Structure 1
Amino acid sequence: MELVNADIFQENELVLDDVTFKINKGEFVYLIGRTGCGKSSLLKTLYADLLNPTGKVTVAGFPIEKIKRKKIPFLRRKLGIIFQDFQLLNDRSVAENLIFVMKATGWKDSAKIKIRLNDVLMRVGLTSSMNKMPYQLSGGEQQRVVIARALLNEPLILLADEPTGNLDPEVAEDILKLFFEINRNGTAVLMATHNHQFLLKYPARTLRVADKKVLEHGTHV
């Protein structure tokens, strides 16, 4: 993933100005900044929910600044996207939530679907919960389902927008450890967070969003 002199807009309003950074394969990066500073707008641009950045924005080989709408689903298959609000289908079990996404992204072979389903649930420690409904799960367990969903298509990079924001501190730390474990297996992670304890306890490269700029943490304008 690489941005070069990129301007990020939301409804024609400039949110971030002249953004340049690169995230290499397998890297773990925190994204920090105050509420409303543009972290979510940056992430939404990276998965082409916000369109028309200027400059150069390349994600998983796709040029976001000129991506055609019909190509966006193919971009998103190479990404894992994790939200603070879980966005699970509450009328379907854990397994049905994941199978729904697999079928929507082109999986057809039922045997392969079953193998992949078991694989991702094992990675997030939820094999025994596959037949439960979302409302039967704790917040931390629901977030693990969301992470499993994001891993289904073996993404090159996980984009996580405050994924621990609604969780108790102990549960949040468990989720963070899971992100690092996924990262050690080769998936790059860009994680927006307010939790500065994470940065102290689990240091990693950090990008800071402030005054419409994205800077390496510790760098001053």
Structure 2
Amino acid sequence: MTFSSAPVVSVKQTTIYQEGNAVLNDINFDIEKGEFVYLVGRTGSGKSSLLKTLYADLPLLQGAIRVGDINLKNIKDSRVPHLRRRLGIIFQDFQLFTDRTVAENLFFVMRATGWKERSKMKSRLSEVLIRVGLGSVSTKMPHQLSGGEQQRVVIARALINEPVLLIADEPTGNLDPEVADGIHKLFQEINNSGTAILMATHNHQLIKDYPGRVLKCTSGKLQDSKLESFDLTESV
């Protein structure tokens, strides 16, 4: 089975498993550099299991997946950190260390992914915080920030290693609509700079406001089309 060197993600004839059960069968899709792709579907339809397979939290048991230059079939544990340096992963529940400042949260990720020089770490920290609109919060604790600001810190953390793909799992699910819209605009800006984004979401109003390609998990299959081809009411 061959892959083009172009796609950021290539999934071929893959079945996704969760706890031994097939939740998505024989799925095929590519994500190109700079694409913005939504992942929708009912709870339990396989969205999170697909994302977890892409970042090797679940094993790839059937089919072929390549993320960047990394083949996920039988990936060794020692290669998983390298894979995750190629990705930026953003969760709904932030997963920030509550006993550390914003800077310390980001420095932790840098050290874990091989950064050594303090001066370069400080420079990169400043760059990513400015990019997400939080240039003055590095010394604050997470509890001193609003929910929207905490999510921006999480996005900054995901951008540390200049990933080829951002994977976002319900990133605005805990935010009010106005704040969620601001976060989505930030994702659009990041995407416009060339970073591919795969976002799982139940927020169909955001998809309508910012139309794009949609992957829909339904009845064990993955449909791939533009927004207007889908009845999103079936994806709640």
Q: What TM-score, normalized to structure 2? A: 0.91
Distance 2:95 2:121 in 1: 21
Give the residue type in structure 2 aligned to 1:163: P
Residue by residue, what CA displacement relative to the aligned partner does 1:27-80 show, whole Å, maximum 9, x if unpaired?
110111111111000000000000133111111221112211110000000000
Match of 2:136, SS state, is helix
Any conservation in 2 of the 1:83–1:161 contact (CA below 8 Å)? yes
Could you say which residue in structure 1 is the equivalent of 2:183?
Answer: 175
Equivalent pairs, count: 220
In 2, Cα distance between equivalents of 1:128 and 1:197: 31
Letter in 1 for 2:22: L
- Counterpart of 1:87 in structure 2 is 95
Q: Aligned-pair distance for 1:10?
A: 1.4
Query: 1:65-97 CA distances to partner (integer Å, 9 max, x unpaired)?
Result: 221111000000000000011000000000110
Aligned to 2:215: 207
Q: Aligned partners of 2:60, 2:44: CA distance in 1, in Å? A: 20
Pick one of 138, 152, 165 that aligns with 1:157. Answer: 165
Counterparts of 1:1-221 in structure 2, within 5 Å, are: 1-217=9-225, 218=229
Q: Is the 8 A contact 1:78 1:157 kept in 2?
A: yes
CA contact under 8 A between 1:209 and 1:215: conserved in structure 2?
Answer: yes
The answer for unaligned runs of 5 or more in structure 1 is none
Corresponding residue SS for 1:208: strand
Contact 1:94/1:129 (8 A) holds in 2: yes
- Secondary structure, counterpart of 1:120 in structure 2: helix
Distance in 2, matches of 1:123 and 1:166, equals: 22
Rounded Cα–Cα distance in structure 2 between residues aligned with 1:136 and 1:46: 33
- 1:161 is aligned with what amino acid? D
Matched position secondary structure for 1:66: coil
SS of 2:187's equivalent? helix
| Unaligned 5+ runs, structure 2 | 1-8, 232-236
> Aligned residues: percent identity?
61
Distance in 2 of aligned mates of 1:176 and 1:124 = 12
In 1: Cα distance, 2:137 partner to 2:86 partner: 26
- SS of aligned partner of 1:207: strand
Deviations 1:114-166 (A, max 9, x none): 11000000000111111110011111000000000000000000000000000
Q: Distance in 2 between matches of 1:19 and 1:124?
A: 34
Q: Which amino acid aligns with 1:188?
A: A
* In structure 2, distance between residues paired with 1:88 and 1:174: 20
TM-score normalised according to structure 1 size: 0.97
Using the alignment, how far apart are the partners of 2:230 and 2:209 within structure 1? 21
Which residue in the other structure is 2:5 paired with?
none
Give the distance between the partners of 2:73 and 2:219, measured in 1 at CA.
22
For residues 73 and 14 of structure 2, what CA distance do their matches in structure 1 show?
9
Q: Secondary structure at the match of 1:165?
A: coil
